[in-house]
Structure 1
Amino acid sequence: MKNLKNSLAIGLSLTLLLFVQGFAHAQTTIEEFAAKWENSKQFTLEVVDKMPDDLMNYKPHESAMSFAEQIIHLSSAAAGISQRFLNGAAPSFDIGAKPSNKAEMKAFVTACFDYAKATVGALSAEQLAESVEIFGSTGTRRQVVGLIDDHTTHHRGAAIAYIRANGIEPPRFRGM
């Protein structure tokens, strides 16, 4: 019985160690982020394309953001967070813009995503490891990059739900 407990404890310890090591190395490189972010941009543009013009202001509840607001928010947040917390230069476009049609929205999405990608791509390994205060918390710039990606996915997912709520088949997800 004692050997079984020792073996179990060793096995559990090794599993935990491997998990922690795998997690520590799970961070993506800038090149991997850039490829994933480009895919995210293209997917977001496909989501915008799927929603008919007359449903851009659709929202499932009065307290919810509209479809257009979801897309504008996820885009402007990516650019704004990049500028403020990732040493971004002043963008060449208005982060606070409110596109009024699909063509303007797609141009805005493209500008915001490209700006975030360029800003992240300009960071050195040392800068990515630096801690910054962000929204009442502290994290590394690398974690801020993950936050931008997660935030984008969250709001794009809501926009996809709006498409489905209107009986429209959303674009097929592709992770890479």
Structure 2
Amino acid sequence: MLRNVTFFLLAAALVLPATAQEHDNSAYLSAVSMDFSQASEKLSSLAEAIPEDYFDWRPAEGIFSVVEVLNHVSTANFRLAAVLGHKSDYEASATDTKEGALARLAASQAHVKELLDSMAEADLNSTIELYGMTMNHYGAVGAITAHTHEHLGQLIAYARSNGIAPPWSGG
């Protein structure tokens, strides 16, 4: 009897991690894609709500302005996707206009979303070099989403500092 229990536990220990890993990859990609989409929608709607004459506003000298934050996020989205093997042919460079910044941001967000939706679960364990570190794709796609959240928070503070409420907040 003890031998049968030992065999069962050993078999379960070998089989369950493989199936759990497969399930976790799918769940992780789905969660990251959804989180990125939600944060991106908020970032875009907030940028849209900020009047263009505030796009050069910055909280202090040497700190990114509104338009510089949007350009930075767009550039990072394109670069991080490229590091993950999803290069873009989008040609527009950083801009100082609201229209240009919003168009570039939307293109970069669509590009990352395309990457996340097309990424194979097996790819998550592949490694890449990013910012001088070796990391797997789990870390890289997490960094894309975290970066979007970071700068969403930054723009919320910028907007509130200028009396602008995020559109989704109700005031």
- Aligned in 2, Cα 1:28/1:75: closer, same or farther, shift over 3 Å? farther
- Aligned partner of 2:139 in structure 1 is 143
**Contact 2:66–2:155 (CA under 8 A) maintained in structure 1:** yes
Q: Shift in Å at residue 101 of structure 1?
A: 2.2
**Contact 2:128–2:137 (CA under 8 A) maintained in structure 1:** yes
- Aligned partner of 1:161 in structure 2 is 157
* Of 33-42 and 65-74, the range deviating more from structure 2: 33-42
- Aligned partner of 1:18 in structure 2 is none
**Contact 1:71–1:156 (CA under 8 A) maintained in structure 2:** no
What is the number of residues matched between the two proteins? 147
Matches of residues 49-60 of structure 1 in structure 2 within 5 Å? 49-60=48-59
Q: Shift in Å at residue 159 of structure 1?
A: 1.4
Structure 2 stretches lacking a partner, 5+ long: 1-19
TM-score when scaled to structure 1? 0.75
RMSD of aligned residue pairs (Cα, Å)? 2.1
Describe the superposition over 1:79-123 as per-residue Cα deviations: whole angstroms up to 9, x where unpaired: 211112x1113x13126x123322222211110011111123222
- Aligned partner of 2:33 in structure 1 is 34
Describe the superposition over 1:122-147 as per-residue Cα deviations: whole angstroms up to 9, x where unpaired: 22222111122211222111110000
Structure 1 stretches lacking a partner, 5+ long: 1-20
% identical aligned pairs? 23
Report the secondary structure of 2:90's partner residue. Answer: coil
CA distance in structure 2 between the partners assigned to 1:161 and 1:83 by the alignment: 30
Runs of 4+ in 1 over 6 A off after TM superposition: none
Report the secondary structure of 1:54's partner residue. Answer: helix
Q: Shift in Å at residue 68 of structure 1?
A: 0.7
Q: Shift in Å at residue 163 of structure 1?
A: 0.7
Matches of residues 87-166 of structure 1 in structure 2 within 5 Å? 87-89=85-87, 91-94=88-91, 97-166=93-162
1:35 maps to a residue whose letter is: M
